[in-house]
Homo-oligomer: A and B are copies of this chain.
Amino acid sequence: VSLRVGPTQEEVRRQNLGALLRYVHLHGATSRAELTGALGLNRSTIGALTAELASAGLVEEAAPRETGRAGRPSPVVRPRSERVYAYALSIEADRLRAARIGIGAVVLDQREAPRPPDLPLEGTWPVLADLIAQLAGAVPAGAVQVGTGVAGCGLLRRANAPAHLRSGGQQAPGPESLRAELGVDSPVVVGNAADVCALAEHIRGAAVGDDNVIYLHRDVGVDAGIIVGGRRLTGAGGYAGAVGHMVVRPGGHLCGCGSRGCWETELGVPAPGTAGAGTASVVDAAASGDAAAAAMVRQFGDWLGLGVANLVNIFNPDMVIFGGALRDVYLAAAARVRSRLNATALPAARAQVKLRTPQLGADAVLIGAAELAFERLLADPLDAR
């Protein structure tokens, strides 16, 4: 229930500055004329806002793009991606990644290190700090760091939650300690990998224009990043999206969580970096005619379709995206997934849902993590730096 009253003039100005900066962050170089239309503000307001953002070093005006049309084209406003940047970190089952990402989601630089199978969460911070130090050595003079976004699958909870492990005793440090651990001097924001991938695909990838999106991510567990009415679903304490622990076969296989018959266990798709055959090799073997592998892929498809059908009945999403190790499984078993979905979900909801793989590939998690770090700047461009 919103009881929000109207904003003051000063709040309106900040809101407009944020809207303009967010627009060029999402859409890149944009002419003043296009901004006038897109934001519904008049030319002189757009001019004043652009001047303010430019003098703060956040955007710059550049020569117009060639349009081929007659008349004097208006100059374009573009985000200063090489100057204003965030660090993005991704903690994965088998590797650790760090990137420096400029406003406008330009990946400026990137480093990676393997994660040994037994390295616990607390052991990842020094490795990540080292990757950041490598990135920092290459930062040009005068560049401005706005924050650091950290994403982890099944390891780090949603942004509004105390950052600790969902199960097990490991605990990530709070934002202040994380700054020290990572050696950065701007705010650190922590997010779940599935959430930030959903965010990235929603604003820049497969799900642009769709406001109800489920991004399924198989890394350590099966998590979902869920967007509902254009907003991330976090839940009361930041624990929402644990779809891998939806029970789909009571009394089924024992799951790491202590329950039985959880979707991620019945699914049988192995986590990356675990012993035994990886998903890709099973999929390859099935494609080469191995009957046992083909049976496994069909079984993946059936369980994947059943779980997706449950989520489709519950959420009525526009789109389900199969990410992480589920991408290959979905591509190998797409017909089986759709057929199981059609047999299980209600007609109206299943007819509406698009099934897709990620469009941003392996960069999604880094781009999404950087979005977490840019959020404060976009909400209030002149105050946040």
Inter-chain contact A310/B247, CB cutoff 8 Å: yes
Inter-chain contact A242/B5, CB cutoff 8 Å: no
| A257 on the B face (CB < 8 A) | yes
A59 to chain B, nearest CB (A): 15
Task: List 30 interface pairs A-B (beta carbons < 8 Å), by A numbering.
Answer: A1-B26, A1-B202, A2-B22, A2-B230, A4-B15, A4-B19, A5-B15, A6-B7, A6-B16, A167-B346, A212-B236, A224-B314, A228-B229, A228-B231, A229-B231, A229-B233, A235-B317, A236-B318, A236-B353, A238-B316, A239-B348, A240-B314, A241-B314, A243-B314, A248-B250, A249-B249, A249-B250, A250-B306, A259-B343, A311-B314
- With A3-B22, A238-B316, A316-B236 in contact, is A166–B16 under 8 Å at CB? no
Look across to chain B and name the residue whose beta carbon is closest to the beta carbon of A8: B12
A27 to chain B, nearest CB (A): 10
Instruction: Give A residues with C-beta under 8 Å from B.
Output: 1-7, 11-13, 15-16, 19, 22-23, 26, 38-41, 166-167, 202-203, 210-212, 224, 228-231, 233-243, 245-250, 257-259, 306, 309-311, 313-318, 343-349, 352-353
- Docked CA distance A203–B241 (Å): 25
Inter-chain contact B6/A15, CB cutoff 8 Å: yes
Residues of B within 8 A of A306 (CB): 247, 250
Look across to chain B and name the residue whose beta carbon is closest to the beta carbon of A259: B344
From B11, B310, B317, A6 is in contact (CB under 8 Å) with B11
Residues of B within 8 A of A230 (CB): 1-2
Interface hub of A229, A248, A345 (most chain B Cβ within 10 A):
A229
- Docked CA distance A317–B236 (Å): 5
- Docked CA distance A316–B12 (Å): 34
A91 to chain B, nearest CB (A): 19
Look across to chain B and name the residue whose beta carbon is closest to the beta carbon of A311: B314
- Docked CA distance A105–B247 (Å): 40
A343 to chain B, nearest CB (A): 7
Look across to chain B and name the residue whose beta carbon is closest to the beta carbon of A317: B236
Inter-chain contact B315/A240, CB cutoff 8 Å: yes
Inter-chain contact A247/B4, CB cutoff 8 Å: no
Inter-chain contact B13/A233, CB cutoff 8 Å: no
Residues of B within 8 A of A311 (CB): 314
From B41, B242, B349, A235 is in contact (CB under 8 Å) with B349
From B4, B40, B231, B345, A5 is in contact (CB under 8 Å) with B40
- Docked CA distance A248–B26 (Å): 41
- Docked CA distance A236–B12 (Å): 31
- With A13-B6, A313-B243 in contact, is A167–B235 under 8 Å at CB? no
Look across to chain B and name the residue whose beta carbon is closest to the beta carbon of A232: B229
Look across to chain B and name the residue whose beta carbon is closest to the beta carbon of A314: B243
Residues of B within 8 A of A39 (CB): 3, 5
Lowest 9 CB-CB distances: which A-B pairs, in order?
A235-B316, A6-B12, A239-B316, A240-B316, A6-B15, A236-B318, A242-B313, A246-B310, A212-B236
